[in-house]
């Protein structure tokens, strides 16, 4: 007790703690810790204009308040430290403390990646966004998701699903299309990974690129059509400045869940209560994202039509059966040669067999109500 009450001793201990925290922050892969505050830098795969960047900043504020200022996340826009497709390796190596992107961005490492964030056509099963999230949290999907990073990719990463978005529209076109054959004549930006392979199986000239590069590429004439996320985020990126035809229905990302990746060494240094705060803040962001998508996308679609004179179209119906056929062709092929892919796909199909009949009946009611409503005319 005398040692603790010695003012000189207390000042020395305090100075040592600050110095130790400053040193830890200077080390690659170590969170900056000073005076009891842990600061983590998160490199995102979206520009600062994105509503999903805005939501990640809300996540940071939530963690800050819940931890009483002991844990702070600094969100960085796409390209601030590394390029979007380099985020995973940067987090694994500790170049940044964490990252934000989508699991399918890492499909080049293992094709099963896409099944966790955006299974095409609901994994060929008909699962929509909410039933896919139900698979993650109730159907064993989250355990497979974490196993994917630790066992299949063998990365030093703790992953969290944080932002459910979608279903993503088929996208933006410089000229209208009336059929799949019309779309085959165009150069189209699609998501990376197996979704791109599915479009190619359909005979579509699909290319992948990060969101911030799409509009400049279209302005240069490199792209004839492109998809991104949804009306609000697409408008923020300026899609309407180069495209005037927008097709709302798409199966390529009937679900699309953004993820937060934290370097596992950094994660393991957090106290149990701070870990719980991050986990709860991630779940809160899931809920907030749902509400954002409904309201912000509806607002944006209205503005696109009334102010920017964008023409909204229904997707040509012959695209849907061709897409589902191509999805099952590509997915069955991958399952036959990739046991990680097969395990996740079998889990989704088993879950969907139970859930989809019920959920489609429920959603069908509300769809019909919407069609019959005077406000829908």
Do 235 and 351 belong together in one domain? yes
Beta carbons within 8 Å of 246's beta carbon, 6+ residues apart: 169, 171, 172, 173, 231, 304, 310, 311, 312, 313
Confidence (pLDDT) at 368: 78
Residue 348 lies in a domain: yes
In the block, residue with structure tokens 């937060």: 260
Region class of 234: left (phi > 0), else alpha (psi between -120 and 50), else beta: alpha
Has residue 12 got a pLDDT over 60? no
% of the chain with per-residue pLDDT over 90: 77
Structure tokens at 86: 């380099």
Do 219 and 336 belong together in one domain? yes
Do 197 and 137 belong together in one domain? no
The whole-number average pLDDT for the span 120-147 is 93
Do 289 and 339 belong together in one domain? no
Residue 185 lies in a domain: yes
Q: Please tell me the total count of domains within the chain.
A: 2
pTM for this entry = 0.83
Do 176 and 91 belong together in one domain? no
Domain of residue 114, CATH code: 3.40.190.170
Q: What are phi and psi of 67, to 5 degrees?
A: -90, 5
Has residue 313 got a pLDDT over 50? yes
- Measured distance CA(167)–CA(290) in Å, rounded: 11
pLDDT per residue over 256-265, tens digit each?
A: 899 999 999 9
Residue 220 lies in a domain: yes
Residue 370 lies in a domain: no
The whole-number average pLDDT for the span 194-218 is 93
Confidence (pLDDT) at 350: 97
32, 25 contact by CB (below 8 A): yes
Structure tokens at 106: 């890492």
Do 238 and 314 belong together in one domain? yes
The whole-number average pLDDT for the span 5-26 is 37
Confidence (pLDDT) at 32: 56
- In angstroms, how far is the first alpha carbon of the chain from the final one? 77
Confidence (pLDDT) at 261: 98
Do 177 and 152 belong together in one domain? no
Q: Count CA atoms closer than 13 A to 148's CA, side-chain side.
A: 30
Do 200 and 149 belong together in one domain? no
Residue 377 lies in a domain: no
Domain of residue 190, CATH code: 3.40.190.10
Do 156 and 175 belong together in one domain? no
Confidence (pLDDT) at 367: 75
Alpha helices (H) in the chain, listed in sequence order: 2-5, 7-26, 51-66, 87-93, 113-117, 129-138, 141-147, 180-184, 194-201, 211-219, 231-236, 264-269, 272-306, 319-337, 339-372
- Measured distance CA(156)–CA(269) in Å, rounded: 13
pLDDT per residue over 27-84, tens digit each?
A: 444 455 545 899 999 999 999 988 999 999 999 999 999 999 999 999 999 999 999 9
84, 101 contact by CB (below 8 A): yes
Do 339 and 281 belong together in one domain? no
pLDDT per residue over 85-132, tens digit each?
A: 999 999 999 999 999 999 999 999 999 999 999 899 888 888 999 999
Residue 361 lies in a domain: no
Q: Which domain holds residue 282?
A: 29-164+256-294
Do 36 and 82 belong together in one domain? yes
Confidence (pLDDT) at 371: 65
In the block, residue with structure tokens 């009334």: 306
Q: Which of 195, 187, 180, 242 is nearest to 216 (CA)?
A: 242
Has residue 255 got a pLDDT over 50? yes
> What does DSSP assign to residue 105?
G
Has residue 224 got a pLDDT over 70? yes
- Measured distance CA(11)–CA(372) in Å, rounded: 73
Residue 135 pLDDT class (50, 70, 90 cuts)? very high
Q: Report how far Cα 120 is from the mean position of its chain's Cα atoms.
A: 14
Rg from Cα positions in the chain: 23
Residue 115 lies in a domain: yes
Do 272 and 330 belong together in one domain? no
Residue 305 lies in a domain: no
Confidence (pLDDT) at 375: 57
Largest CA distance in the chain: 84
């Amino acid at each position: 007790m005398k040692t603790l009450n010695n003012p000189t001793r207390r000042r020395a201990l305090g100075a040592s703690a600050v110095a130790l925290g400053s040193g830890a922050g200077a080390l690659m892969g170590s969170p900056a810790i000073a005076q009891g505050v842990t600061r983590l830098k998160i490199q995102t795969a979206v520009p600062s204009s994105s509503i999903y960047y805005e939501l990640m900043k809300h996540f940071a504020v939530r963690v800050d308040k819940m931890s009483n200022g002991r844990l702070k996340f600094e969100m960085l826009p796409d390209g601030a430290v590394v390029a979007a497709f380099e985020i995973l390796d940067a987090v694994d190596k500790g170049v940044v403390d964490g990252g934000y992107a989508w699991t399918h961005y890492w499909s080049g490492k293992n094709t099963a990646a896409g099944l966790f964030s955006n299974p095409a056509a609901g994994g060929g099963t008909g699962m929509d966004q909410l039933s896919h999230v139900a698979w993650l949290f109730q159907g064993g999907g989250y355990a497979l998701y974490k196993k994917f990073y630790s066992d299949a990719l063998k990365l030093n990463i703790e992953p969290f699903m944080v932002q459910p978005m979608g279903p993503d529209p088929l996208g933006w076109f410089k000229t209208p299309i009336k059929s799949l054959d019309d779309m085959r004549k165009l150069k189209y930006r699609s998501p990376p990974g197996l979704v791109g392979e599915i479009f190619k199986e359909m005979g579509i000239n699909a290319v992948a690129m990060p969101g911030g590069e799409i509009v400049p590429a279209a302005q240069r004439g490199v792209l004839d059509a492109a998809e991104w996320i949804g009306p609000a985020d697409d408008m923020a990126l300026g899609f309407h400045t180069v495209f005037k035809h927008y097709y709302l229905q798409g199966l390529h990302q009937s679900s699309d869940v953004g993820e937060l990746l934290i370097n596992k060494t950094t994660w393991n240094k957090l106290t149990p209560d701070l870990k719980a705060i991050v986990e709860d803040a991630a779940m809160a962001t899931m809920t907030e994202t749902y509400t954002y998508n409904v309201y912000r996308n509806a607002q944006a679609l209205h503005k696109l039509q009334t102010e920017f004179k964008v023409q909204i179209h229904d997707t040509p119906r012959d695209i849907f059966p061709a897409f589902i056929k191509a999805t099952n062709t590509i997915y069955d092929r991958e399952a036959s040669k990739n046991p990680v892919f097969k395990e996740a796909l079998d889990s989704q199909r088993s879950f969907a067999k139970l859930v989809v009949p019920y959920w489609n009946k429920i959603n069908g009611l509300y769809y019909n109500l919407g069609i019959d409503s005077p406000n829908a005319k």
